């Protein structure tokens, strides 16, 4: 069979978008399947190469040159590599990129959540704060975090995540150390706001950087590693707090002041190290800190071409290209992303509420400061297991909406028992066990973040839509910080009933999102199938449709 026939047959069953590979193709049009015409099992990258069509390859080559895509010199539609070579490259990426990102996530988590350990050391009493004041401080944090999301994305896109992220980490760690000097409510509110504002946009910035190196199928698993790392960090913080809080009285400081100082210093060291760990792209790894670079030239080509064949739109902007206000507006009105924002607005309220109050609730059961911090560890361990398990299941089944319904169903059962069982809050160990099992329930944030990234289908929308999604998650967090109120202590019966009702609402929301994307894909498929091959070729080259509005793109669900 000729190369030209192979190209035409493969292109008939693929598209410039990787998402279309997951859709059923009209196999009746050809009696020869793609699997039958690929005779070299090691060169599996051929089966997912949308650039085998010469017209498509030329279109994207011109586009990458126009946008000055930083990796355009390594774009090669005919380039081949073996599965063994790809595995070696992915191992390097896991260490150089994913591990580095996990370490930077540690810096985020330490300064964001060590407040939960501080409150077990009479932090509220020392500053004269009530539960409601504590809620206000956390709300200020999330509000500032929310408003900083898009500005942070626009700055990061202009400077590059490899420049802006290390700066962010160093800046918030300095503010975190300044919490040593807190004396009252005003200082608490100011530092919470500053930390939130500086941290805002960090997660979308890092996800964008990761998307330069990993495919859409690889990204969710790496993101699950990050949130597992965050949870492991919480375990380490709890263990460290057990020792650091015992320094109460040293230098005349309370234990929580030592906690903020030493953990803030650790994050500052990570921030400085991140200038070394981050690079602009796969082809820009050689500098005075990395004189030999990360990869050989062949490995660079593997990284670049595997990414572009997974998603050709990743080369439609270069990594120092600023986002215009017009681009920002187009992202904001992208109605196809709104269902995912709605899920982000509601899906985590219960878990985030328990995350903020778990140590206080455990302390209220009669445990002392040090036992309370140690007793938080089993919940974190359960959280990690459930997070990794549900993310793996989502990729294994290639489903997001149905798999994401597991956590709300899980939560409904546990919240129902915690809220309506007469012994809740009275019988100490059973109450602690129930709270721990709920606190550790499956977390779908990694699934949702990668879902947003997949359904954006362009660098421009991916960066802003990731920030938009995270803004709705911050609104989710702000709601969570105000469910448990001072007049509802110590059992929080009213708050638990509110959480139970909110969790119910997540189930139909996920179902509606699933059916919406199925309907959108069917609508696109009808229009696409009605075109002739000539019309399809003309559309691919000349359409003004962009991102997820393209007729040859299919939404993941």
Supply the mean pLDDT for the chain.
Answer: 80
Interacting residues of 148 by C-beta distance below 8 A, sequence separation 6+? 196, 197, 198, 199, 200, 201
Q: Does the pLDDT of residue 95 top 60, yes or no?
A: yes
- Predicted structure pTM score: 0.69
- Please state, in angstroms and rounded to a whole number, the distance separating the CA atoms of residues 114 and 264: 10
Report the greatest alpha carbon distance in the chain: 82
How many Å apart are CA 7 and CA 270, to the nearest integer?
A: 48
* Secondary structure of residue 146 in the 3-state scheme: helix
pLDDT computed for residue 396 by the predictor: 86
- The answer to whether residues 352 and 480 touch, using CB atoms and an 8 Å cutoff, is yes
Give the CA distances from residue 68 to residues 220, 318, 322, 328, 427, in Å, rounded to whole numbers and listed in that order: 28, 6, 13, 21, 65
Residue 340 tokens, joined = 């995912």
For the cut 60, the answer to whether the pLDDT of residue 157 exceeds it is yes
Position 46 scores a pLDDT of 43
Residues 6+ apart with CB under 8 A from 216: 18, 19, 310, 311, 450, 453, 454
Which DSSP state fits 488? Answer: G
Supply φ then ψ for residue 13, to 5 degrees.
-105, 10
Q: What is the DSSP letter of 490?
A: T
Higher pLDDT pick, 52 / 273: 273
Query: pLDDT over 90 for what percent of the chain?
Result: 15
CA distance 269 to 177: 12
Per-residue model confidence (pLDDT) at position 39 = 32
What per-residue confidence (pLDDT) applies to 425? 65
The pLDDT assigned to 2 comes to: 40
Find tokens 């009702």 and name the residue.
501
Mean pLDDT score, 244-257: 81
pLDDT for 352: 81
Q: What is the CA radius of gyration of the chain?
A: 25
Rounded to whole angstroms, the Cα distance separating 90 from 306 reads 11
**Average pLDDT in the 3-25 region?**
38
- Compute CA distances 7 → 51, 82, 269, 307, 553, whole Å: 9, 19, 51, 20, 20
What is the per-residue pLDDT across 285-305, written as a single tens digit (0 to 9) for each?
888 888 888 888 899 999 999
Q: Kindly tell me if the per-residue pLDDT of 495 is higher than 60.
A: yes
Q: Do residues 403 and 397 make contact, with C-beta atoms less than 8 angstroms apart? A: yes
């Amino acid at each position: 069979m000729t190369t030209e026939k192979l190209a035409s047959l493969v292109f008939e069953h693929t598209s410039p978008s990787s998402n279309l590979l997951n859709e059923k193709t009209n196999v009746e049009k050809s009696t020869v399947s793609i699997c039958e015409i690929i005779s070299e099992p090691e060169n599996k990258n051929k089966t997912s190469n949308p650039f085998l069509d010469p017209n498509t390859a030329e279109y994207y080559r011109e586009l990458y040159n126009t946008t000055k895509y930083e990796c355009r010199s390594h774009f090669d539609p005919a380039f081949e590599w073996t599965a063994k070579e790809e595995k070696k490259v992915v191992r390097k990426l896991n260490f150089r990129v994913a591990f580095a990102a996990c370490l930077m996530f540690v810096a985020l988590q330490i300064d964001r959540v060590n407040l939960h350990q501080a409150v077990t050391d009479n932090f509220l009493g020392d500053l004269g704060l009530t539960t409601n004041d504590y809620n206000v401080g956390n709300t200020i944090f999330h509000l500032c975090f929310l408003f900083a999301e898009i500005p942070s994305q626009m700055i990061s896109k202009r400077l590059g995540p490899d420049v802006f992220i290390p700066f962010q980490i160093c800046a918030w760690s300095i503010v975190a150390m300044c919490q040593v000097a807190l004396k009252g409510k005003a200082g608490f509110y100011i530092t919470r706001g500053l930390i939130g504002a500086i941290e805002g946009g960090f997660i979308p910035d890092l996800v964008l950087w990761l998307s330069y190196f990993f495919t859409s199928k690889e990204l969710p698993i790496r993101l699950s590693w990050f949130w597992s790392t965050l949870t492991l960090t919480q375990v380490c913080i709890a263990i460290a707090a057990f020792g650091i809080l015992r320094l109460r009285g040293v230098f005349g400081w309370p234990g929580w002041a030592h906690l903020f100082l030493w953990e803030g210093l650790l994050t500052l060291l990570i921030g400085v190290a991140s200038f070394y760990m981050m690079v602009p792209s796969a082809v820009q790894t050689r500098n005075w800190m990395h004189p030999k670079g990360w990869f050989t030239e062949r490995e660079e080509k593997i990284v670049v071409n595997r990414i572009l064949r997974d998603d050709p739109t990743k080369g439609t902007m270069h990594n120092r290209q600023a986002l215009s206000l017009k681009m920002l507006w187009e992202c904001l009105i992208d109605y196809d992303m709104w269902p995912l924002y709605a899920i982000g607005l509601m899906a985590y309220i219960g878990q985030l509420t328990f995350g903020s109050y778990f140590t206080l609730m455990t302390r209220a059961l009669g445990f002392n400061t040090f036992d309370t911090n140690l007793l938080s560890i089993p919940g974190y361990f359960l959280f990690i297991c459930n997070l990794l398990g549900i993310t793996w299941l989502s990729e294994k089944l290639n489903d997001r909406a149905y798999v994401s319904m597991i956590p709300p169903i899980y939560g409904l059962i546990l919240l129902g028992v915690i809220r309506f069982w007469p012994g809740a809050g009275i019988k100490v160990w059973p109450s602690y066990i129930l709270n721990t099992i709920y606190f550790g329930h499956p977390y779908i944030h990694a699934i949702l973040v990668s879902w947003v990234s997949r359904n954006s289908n362009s660098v421009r929308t991916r960066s802003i839509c990731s920030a938009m999604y995270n803004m709705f998650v911050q609104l989710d967090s702000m709601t969570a910080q105000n469910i448990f109120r001072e007049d509802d202590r110590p059992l929080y019966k009213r708050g638990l009933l509110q959480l139970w009702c909110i969790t119910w609402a997540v189930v139909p929301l996920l179902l509606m999102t699933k059916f919406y994307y199925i309907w959108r894909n069917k609508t696109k498929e009808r229009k696409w199938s009605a075109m002739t091959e000539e019309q399809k070729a003309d559309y691919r080259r000349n359409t003004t449709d962009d991102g997820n509005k393209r007729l040859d793109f299919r939404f993941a669900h």
